[in-house]
């Protein structure tokens, strides 16, 4: 395999960076497959729920699809918790970062803020403010994030829900991650 000549980036020349660019292009083209692998790993993730984190993700996406959402939002619903395994304290931000080059600012914001908005459903049980989300009242995506959480995310822990299989979502993930990236990243 060809390699760059440098040991420090400051010593690289155009030929080195052209070589790396070719490798990077191939790597970027495999993003959808890697994202699906990470998603599948949620099947053996955090316990305690009645369903796996993968099943939760599939339920969330199934609800979004059945509600008539566009493909971008369905994929965002599917991937909203992919950060759970390696970044449990900031999983929303990690998922939003993965999606950011490929989705609209609105979709990115919803995914990034969903973790905070979800505290509405449990913070009061710990004597904490359940309305932390209210600091975003007036934001253009505030109501959309409430709807994302209420209609899809918080409702998707049901072992009796008729969840769509992952195979139905894989082509959507491919289309989102293989389109021209937005310039918002």
| DSSP string covering 47-113 | -SSSS-HHHHHHHHHHHHHHTT--HHHHHHHHHTTTTTTT-TTSHHHHHHHHHGGGS-HHHHHHHHH
pLDDT of residue 45: 84
Whether 2 is covered by a domain: the verdict is no
Give the DSSP per-residue string, 118-171: HGGGTGGGGTS-TTGGGGGTT-TTHHHHHHIIIIIITT---TTS-PPPHHHHHH
Whether 35 is covered by a domain: the verdict is yes
Distance CA 157, CA 6 (A): 51
pLDDT of residue 127: 98
pLDDT at 26 over 70: yes
CB 129 within 8 A of CB 123: yes
Whether 185 is covered by a domain: the verdict is no
Whether 31 is covered by a domain: the verdict is yes
Note the pTM of the prediction, 2 decimals.
Answer: 0.93
pLDDT at 184 over 70: no
pLDDT at 185 over 60: no
Whether 6 is covered by a domain: the verdict is no
* Tally of domains within the chain: 1
pLDDT band at 182 (very low <50, low <70, confident <90, very high): confident
CATH of the domain at 143: 1.10.3210.10
Residue 59 lies in domain? 14-177
């Amino acid at each position: 395999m060809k390699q760059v000549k440098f040991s420090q980036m400051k010593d690289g020349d155009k030929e080195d960076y052209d070589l790396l660019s070719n490798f990077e292009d191939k790597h970027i083209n495999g993003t959808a497959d890697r994202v699906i692998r990470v998603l599948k790993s949620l099947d053996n993730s955090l316990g305690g729920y009645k369903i796996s984190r993968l099943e939760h993700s599939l339920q969330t996406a199934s609800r979004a699809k059945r509600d008539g959402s566009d493909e971008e939002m369905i994929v965002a619903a599917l991937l909203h918790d992919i950060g759970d395994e390696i970044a449990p304290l900031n999983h929303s931000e990690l998922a939003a970062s993965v999606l950011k080059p490929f989705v609209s600012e609105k979709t990115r914001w919803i995914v990034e803020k969903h973790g905070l908005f979800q505290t509405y459903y449990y913070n009061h049980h710990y004597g904490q403010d359940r309305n932390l989300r209210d600091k975003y009242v007036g934001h253009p995506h505030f109501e959309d994030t409430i709807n994302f959480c209420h209609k899809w995310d918080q409702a998707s822990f049901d072992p009796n829900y008729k969840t769509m299989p992952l195979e139905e979502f894989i082509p959507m993930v491919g289309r989102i991650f293989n389109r021209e990236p937005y310039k918002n990243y």
